[in-house]
Amino acid sequence: MLGKIHLFFGILVVIIFLLTGQYMDKNFNHLQDMELMNRALFRAGHLYILLFGLINAALGAHLKLSKTKWINLVQKLGSLVIFSATILVIYGFFTELPTENIERPLTRFSLYLILFGVSVHGLISLVPNKYKTI
């Protein structure tokens, strides 16, 4: 079930990526008249949304929850962190830009969160599991 949630959430985030492209086009003249730093930050934030959506979709396509309770709990924790990071990067796209400053604390924190969540899933997949997956 969690895998399907990741998959559908990832697809939704990819759709949000497409809509943020339209948002930049309609509200900021496709960034043409924008100062270079803000233009680069907008594009980076836009691509982060795509990346996070693809991470969710890929995880959803392959996630197998363990029947071992502690492994299952760690997998769910990793998923919660990934969901939180994805929501945070989308929120940061709309609240941190445009800016006079290169610092974007929400986006930076979301990148740390996604790194942690993906690492948790990757590392827990290496743990020997004598029980079948759900």
Q: What is the pLDDT along the chain (134 residues), one digit of tens a residue?
A: 999 999 999 999 999 999 999 999 998 888 888 888 988 999 999 999 999 999 999 999 999 999 999 999 999 999 999 999 999 999 999 999 888 888 999 999 999 999 999 999 999 999 887 766 66
Angle, helices 69-95 vs 2-27, to 10°: value is 10
CB 48 within 8 A of CB 113: no
- What are the distances in angstroms from CA 103 to CA 4, 75, 88, 120? 35, 31, 15, 27
Report the alpha-carbon distance of residue 94 to residue 77 in Å, rounded.
Answer: 26
* Count of residues in the chain: 134
Report the alpha-carbon distance of residue 45 to residue 28 in Å, rounded.
Answer: 15
pLDDT of residue 132: 63
CB 129 within 8 A of CB 71: yes
Helix (H, G, I), strand (E, B) or coil at 38: helix
pTM: 0.92
Query: Domain ranges in the chain?
Result: 2-124
